Chain A
Amino acid sequence: MKFKVNNSEVYASTGGRPFDKKKPLIIFVHGSGLTHMTWVLQTRYFAFHGYNSLAVDLPGHGLSGGESLKSIEEMADWVSSVIDAVGHREASLVGHSQGCLVTVECTARYPDKIKTLSLMGGAGAIPMNPQLLSLAENNDPKAVDLMMDWAHGPAGHFGGHPVPGLYHINTGTMLAKSRTIQNTLGVDFRACDNYKNGFEAAKKVKCPTLSILATDDKMCPVKEGKKLASLIEGSQVDIIDNCGHMMLLEEADRVLTVLKKFITTNYPPLSS
């Protein structure tokens, strides 16, 4: 569906079901340079099981208009505005990678609005490798290739996509190259690198929180994810073996199972 936030058009996948204001809202926030399509193996399930599932394209990404937001704080405010724009008062947030920084900050800023928080491959800070940052800001496609290399675990490098016939790394590469790299990945990486408030924001999170981490995650290693989780009161942690940073694709079924249990328990769907 399309709607406007700050006068800019926003695209969000509804997971194949029409948006229904009566149903509780889950917002999925993608990682650096990516789009709503990374969530396809989670959003459709919730959409068909009593939720409004909104996988947003951040401004300037995917099918959304406008320019990429330059800071995690702006993105956090923007997510809050999405909740307002679709006529809801509250939502459950799910973030991946950079999306974790955004959703933690959003939850800290708007505690009354956010009912549960699910973090995948999250950390309190995501400092960027200077060379990678420079490549992305200079529009070099090598930045995407490096990101896809590091984002997939050793097993993920061989493929084994849960959807028959799809090949992880090339699909991710195409998503990240679908718009101008410096305007998406470059801006996002800089925003991640600049963001220093993750640990402080985490201390303010009081809603039920789940962290899904992966043993082979090079981008946000388990110890960083655990450090963030330790600052959030009552946070649950689930660790996936043989999996890299792209756990939402590499181990989509496991992620969905854990996410489903957590969200339906803490933020029940509209019963039919």
Chain B
Amino acid sequence: MSEKKKELKPNTYKFDTLSLHAGYQPHKNAGSRQVPIYQTTSYLFDDVDHAAALFNLERGGHIYSRISNPTVGVLEERVASLEGGTAALATSSGMSAIFLAVMTLCEAGDHLVVSSQLYGGTVNLFRLTLPKFGIKCTFVKPRDTEGFKKAIQKNTKGIFGELVGNPGNEIMNMPEIAKIAHEAGIPLMVDATYQTPYLCKPFEHGADIVIHSLTKWMAGHGSSMAGILVEGGKFDWMQNDKFPTMTKPYEGYHGLSFAEEFGPTAFTMKARAEGMRDFGPCLSPQNAWNVLQGIETLSVRMKKHCSNAEEMVKYLMNHESVAWVSHPSVPDHPDHELAKKLLPNGRGSMIAFGIKGGKEAGVAFINNVKLASHLANVGDTRTLVIHPASGTHSQMDEATLKFAGLSHDMIRLSVGIEDIDDIKNDFEVGFRAARKPRLVSNQ
């Protein structure tokens, strides 16, 4: 009897296992099964030689918790492993992760091409704050793939966008935009907060740097601010002369060339060595630990978020008070097919919908739902609602609102993991109030 030769398969750990274990070895931590919280600012040196070696990046280890911390380090490795990245650097918030990524890449006089559909705070960073540092940006609509190509200039150092735009759910054609970036010899940076690595791994579609606000779905509990940047490790910083701060000897570390010395982890090494040293947006160990608790159940929660979201899409589409619904699962959503390709495990739990009756009805709806929380966050396990034109994007003028694809009737819904019937019942109360805004008061 002939025996078929067994095909070799790698036995590296899979997503759900990595969510629970990656980045941590109990036998090096007194056998503690749970990740310890290293609530400390600084770390003993064995001797002067050891101290010098750590400062010179001659060996790995911790010096000061602004630069790195063992609890935060577990979180960084865990997210890097889940994303399929080589390295990660956690920060105090998603915004500081974006800022750190930009400052690691750019100098005064540089330029970025940026998707126009972004969280309002991010828009303001690119539109108003970065120009103060001499970094200019050109905004392009996320569906205008060719527009990204046209916007690239000689001094462009990267393309940035949210994979699924906030709040309108426009999807960037990441594989095509990555090609455009790579043809120009620049990296693609993607904010994938809405997706988490459970729904999409941007490195598999050409992204080079992935950014998350961990505050959202990754943590899930809505208790802790945190951000992270993750490096894919494929981008060749030495392919051209666009990135001298990565490739040329760096005065701050005895002439170190990050690209030559650290290759696939060069970006993270520079972001930490320079960015955390000089800007210092470090994540507290307590918050890192809190986020780790959330990540342990990431896939379980994301499945429920997505199934509840699809139920809510059906409910809203058939509701007399709803003018329109935007979610990538809707067949007539302009990016429905692209979403199937990029988000095979679910289309996410962010829904935008228009309420009949415009702004006044929107305000009444928001003021009368009780289970859904009205607040400026997304990705909580609880259902959240907001009226972007008067909330998250309220600092924008009329023209900018229009360019960002926002309308006054739009309500942004972050679907939680409560019982779906309870969410629908709550929305019925809101819609009833919206139909009679002057008869129902929230006061």
Contacts and interface: CB of A to CB of B under 8 A. Distances in A.
Is the pairing of A and B real? yes
A16 interface: yes
Given A169-B81, A170-B233, 8 more contacts: A16-B261, A44-B261, A145-B10, A159-B23, A160-B25, A164-B70, A165-B88, A170-B84
A129 B8 contact: yes
7 contacts: A16-B253, A40-B261, A157-B12, A157-B13, A164-B76, A166-B86, A170-B85
B89 interface: yes
B11 A149 contact: yes
Interface in B84-104: 84-90
Contacts of A145: 10, 12
B438 interface: no
Interface of B: 5, 7-13, 21-25, 27-28, 52-53, 56-62, 68-70, 72-73, 76-78, 80-81, 84-90, 233-234, 238, 253-256, 260-265, 268-269, 272
Interface in A159-186: 159-167, 169-171, 174-175, 178
Nearest to B29: A160
B228 to A, nearest CB: 9
A35 interface: yes
Contacts of A174: 86, 233-234, 263-264
Contact of A167 (B8, B21, B22, B53): B22
For chain A, which range describes its interface: under 10, 10 to 19, 20 to 34, or 35 or more residues?
A: 35 or more
**Most chain B C-beta atoms within 10 Å of own C-beta, residue among A45, A159, A163, A167:** A167
A158 B60 contact: no
A170 B86 contact: yes
B272 A48 contact: no
A162 B28 CA distance: 12
A237 interface: no
Contacts of A175: 263-264
A170 B81 contact: yes
Nearest to B80: A167
Contacts of B24: 158-160
A108 B80 CA distance: 43
B24 to A, nearest CB: 6
Interface string A127-155: 00101100100000010011011000001
**Most chain B C-beta atoms within 10 Å of own C-beta, residue among A13, A16, A155, A170:** A170
Listed from nearest, the 3 A-B pairs whose CB atoms lie closest are A162-B60, A164-B68, A174-B233
Contacts of B59: 41, 44-45, 162, 252-253, 256
Contact of A171 (B28, B69, B72, B86): B86
A27 interface: no
